[in-house]
Amino acid sequence: MKEQTPLLQKQTAFKTPFQHIFFYQHSLNPNNHSKQSNIKMQIIIVTNSNHFPLEITQQEPVLEIKQKIAVNLGIPTPLQTLSILGFELIDGLDMDDYPIIHDGTNIDLTLNNNFNPEHDLLLPCRIPITIKFSSKQINIEVDNISETVRSLKEKIHIIDATPIKRMLLYTSGVEMEEEYRYLSEYGVTEYSEITVFLKSMNRIKAEPPCRKVSMVVQTSKTLLNAATIPLEMKDTSTVNEVRQLLLSRKILPMDDYIFIHKQRIMRDNCTLRWHGVDNGDYLYVFKGTISKE
């Protein structure tokens, strides 16, 4: 079973004209947009102290999933918050409304009040880690959900003035070489140690020349009737530039949009290269904005 998203806690507010986000209805297979209500899949319900598999169908309502959890864990459905990538799953929708959910996906369960089961299900938003240099070490706190390798390097640079381009980060003997990945994808947890090595000046690679990437922007049935929009842009283009291009060409109606690539929310000011977008990749788009609480 493939690992999916890291354990999440509801910590992000999503604002849309209807006070919640509608994920576009399509299959993760770009060539298959039909609803297949009888097809079963297994998701993983994740809490702070445990996880368990749950069999559902592609069109199972969120509320029915909560009812199954209530039977298994004894947590009343009104107290449950289910989320993925920080997005809350809305009771009035079903799994087909969330295209990034498929077989093996982790769905994160948190509680929306002071209900205290035998094992605390809530996960702290910030965790302490240790940054080790050759001659010293420092303790810092990072966001256990959204912190990436790049954002950690930026924090280290602010604290220690170490040039970002010279940093090599290792955890448990593994190099954290892909800057767009979350720390949790490298197994970073509370009290993890991350070692900083410095590249010699002659090992610092120049930025590769920009190149064009051909990708597909995928919408929903409620937006342009599940359109697939071929797009070619330089890999040094930012996500915001992709958005502005789609708006300026009137391909998308004027609105606020969030882009997702490989189950990760894309950052407006970061480039396609930074996100690891390659030829043939799909960018999933839906209406909404993200703001920290």
The CATH architecture to which 12-111 belongs is Roll (3.10)
Contact 93, 22 (CB under 8 A): yes
Please report which residue ranges of 111-226 form alpha helices under DSSP H.
149-160
CATH number given to 212-292: 3.10.20.90
Specify the amino acid at residue 256: D
Domain 126-203 and domain 212-292 have a common topology: yes
Domain chopping of the chain, boundaries: 12-111, 126-203, 212-292
Token pair 């009771």 is found at 91
Domain 126-203 adopts which CATH fold?
Answer: Ubiquitin-like (UB roll) (3.10.20)
Distance CA(26)–CA(99), nearest Å, equals: 6
Report the chain (293 residues): mean pLDDT per 10 consecutive residues. Answer: 37 32 36 55 83 85 87 76 82 78 87 52 68 92 81 89 90 88 84 90 67 88 78 92 91 85 80 88 79 46
On whether the pTM is more than 0.75, the answer is no
Q: Give residue-wise pLDDT tens across range 183-238.
A: 877 888 889 999 999 887 665 556 678 889 999 998 866 677 778 899 999 999 99
